[in-house]
Chains A and B, each alone.
Chain A
Amino acid sequence: MSFFNYAWDWVTQSAHWHGPGSIPQQIVAHLGYAGLPLLIAAIIAIPAGVAVGHTGRGSVFVVNLANSWRAIPTLGLLVLLAVYLGFSFLTWLLPLVVLAIPPILVNAYEGVAGVDPGVRDAAKGAGMTAWQQVTRVEVPIALPLILVGLRTAAIFVVATATIAAYIGLGGLGRFIFDGLASYQYGPVAGGALLVVGLAVLVLGLFALLGRVLVPAGLRKQRRSE
């Protein structure tokens, strides 16, 4: 039997869609574990990245962060906080916020820093204040990259929220770790398939968001991670 057989068999059993710890319940929990840190990280990182991109100050730090943030092992952070804090909600919130900030920050910075100097000059020349330059010119131009950063962060937290079940939390990882503990590949495969499905949905959501929010003229920018 392949991965898909096991996964499909398990996911399509209606019993798994009802009762405590059901699939819909864990999907909602998973979205919560992923969504809240993403929101907080965005609130922190987008303004910060835009500020660094606009003023140029702190750009060295951000560029170094761009190369190094993927080095942070997510399992290690989760486990460290679990050992210190036990079941506090900070145990999952802190690591996920910390992991979500870098991609958003880096991409917001690159988006704003990459605005054509000629355009910047034109904005200044037109008498715009700094605030107006940022909000009316730089951020709209940087929007595609900001969305890329948000998308990267979103995929990252969805993936890490899967591991959170290792320390006793819920979410789709719960099926994976329960299955591993009781030697049943069905829930393991099913949980994995559901997480992948969720990740692909997030991808699609951001593609849609890009189409809706970004004017056609800007959509053809080169992408970076």
Chain B
Amino acid sequence: MMWSWIPSNGSLIWQLTRENIYIGVVPALYGLAISLPLGIVAARWRWFYPPVLTLVNVIYAIPALALFIALIPTLGLTNTNVIVALTLFSLCVILPNVVAGLRGVPDPVRQAATAMGYGPLRRLVMVELPLAVPVIMGGLRVGVVSSISLASVGQLIGVSSLGYLFTDGEQRSFPTEIYVGLVLIIALALACDLILVGVRRALTPWAVRA
């Protein structure tokens, strides 16, 4: 293990980390942005969900590299390609959670809100979504963690991320680089996971802490 490699390549490591954060976190956020409206529709109109869920399961089964490749004719070997693919994967994880979270709101609560004079929109925004936050956040967490990790596979089509440490590490037979890549990606993913747990706690002050 060549520890000196780390400080002498600090700016490279930082550059790659920033790139990895970008192409890891942004897709998860896009996935959330798409899952929310889709999930609200799916939770309300029951017939809509089963076909959507089947489609989501099929897409999630596609290996990341295969999806990047399928997007090459339209998006080239670019950041956008990886971001679109990872957004799709995040969607697959977050959407079911949005639906489960909304459907998990107890009926008595819904009825109480209606009884208090809340219209459907107000009830959704002020009651159902907030109560669904823990489950939705659960999905977002999985989305962020897996996006950050899968972003490194993009290196195989030339999209830069911490995955560069894997390819260069292989080419130069240099385990130090590979270890640094592994540790950083895992640490990055877990740090984002923790941040999201904090966000969830901040958003749900009424929740009982076990």
Using a CB–CB cutoff of 8 Å, the interface residues on chain A facing chain B are: 1-3, 6, 67-68, 70-77, 79-80, 82-84, 155, 158-160, 162-163, 166-167, 173, 176, 180, 185, 188-189, 191-193, 195-196, 199-200, 202-203, 222-223, 225
Question: How many of chain B's residues touch chain A, expressed as a range?
Answer: 35 or more
Q: Is the interface of B mostly helix, strand, loop or mixed?
A: helix
Interface pair A76/B63, CB less than 8 Å apart: no
How far, in whole Å, are A203 and B56 apart by their CA atoms in the complex? Answer: 12
Most buried by A among B72, B166, B175: B166
Interface pair B69/A83, CB less than 8 Å apart: no
- Which of A73, A75, A196, A223 makes the CB contact (< 8 A) with B62? A196
Residues on B with beta carbons closer than 8 Å to the beta carbon of A72: 149, 182, 186
Q: Answer whether residue B156 sits at the interface, using C-beta atoms and an 8 A cutoff.
A: yes
Interface pair A2/B73, CB less than 8 Å apart: yes
Residues on B with beta carbons closer than 8 Å to the beta carbon of A200: 58, 61
- Which of B69, B175, B179 makes the CB contact (< 8 A) with A192? B69
- Which of A76, A158, A189, A225 makes the CB contact (< 8 A) with B181? A76
How far, in whole Å, are A34 and B141 apart by their CA atoms in the complex? Answer: 27
Interface pair B66/A195, CB less than 8 Å apart: yes
Distance (whole angstroms) from the CB of B183 to the closest CB of chain A:
10
Residues on B with beta carbons closer than 8 Å to the beta carbon of A199: 61-63
Residues on B with beta carbons closer than 8 Å to the beta carbon of A76: 152, 163, 165-166, 178, 181-182, 185
Given contacts A159-B64, A199-B62, contact A3 B190 (CB under 8 A): no
Interface pair B193/A68, CB less than 8 Å apart: yes
Residues on A with beta carbons closer than 8 Å to the beta carbon of B21: none
Q: Answer whether residue B100 sits at the interface, using C-beta atoms and an 8 A cutoff.
A: yes
How far, in whole Å, are A155 and B62 apart by their CA atoms in the complex? Answer: 8
Interface pair A155/B182, CB less than 8 Å apart: no
- Which of B60, B96, B157, B165 makes the CB contact (< 8 A) with A155? B60
Q: How many A-B residue pairs lie within 8 Å, measured between CB atoms?
A: 137
Residues on B with beta carbons closer than 8 Å to the beta carbon of A68: 145, 186, 189-190, 193
Q: List 30 A-B contacts (CB under 8 A).
A: A1-B73, A3-B70, A3-B73, A67-B141, A70-B142, A70-B146, A71-B185, A73-B149, A73-B153, A73-B181, A73-B185, A73-B186, A74-B153, A75-B152, A75-B155, A75-B156, A76-B165, A76-B182, A83-B170, A176-B65, A176-B66, A176-B69, A180-B157, A192-B63, A193-B66, A195-B63, A196-B61, A196-B70, A199-B61, A203-B61
Interface pair A84/B182, CB less than 8 Å apart: no
Distance (whole angstroms) from the CB of B135 to the closest CB of chain A:
10
Specify the chain B residue showing the minimal Cβ separation from A77.
Answer: B182
Residues on A with beta carbons closer than 8 Å to the beta carbon of B66: 159, 162, 176, 191-193, 195-196
Segment 145-177 of B: residues with Cβ below 8 Å from A:
145-146, 148-150, 152-153, 155-157, 162-163, 165-167, 169-170, 173-175
Residues on B with beta carbons closer than 8 Å to the beta carbon of A225: 93, 142
**Beyond known contacts A71-B186, A173-B65: 15 more, CB 8 A cutoff:** A6-B73, A71-B145, A73-B149, A73-B150, A73-B153, A73-B186, A83-B170, A83-B175, A159-B63, A159-B64, A163-B156, A176-B69, A195-B63, A196-B66, A223-B96
Residues on B with beta carbons closer than 8 Å to the beta carbon of A6: 73
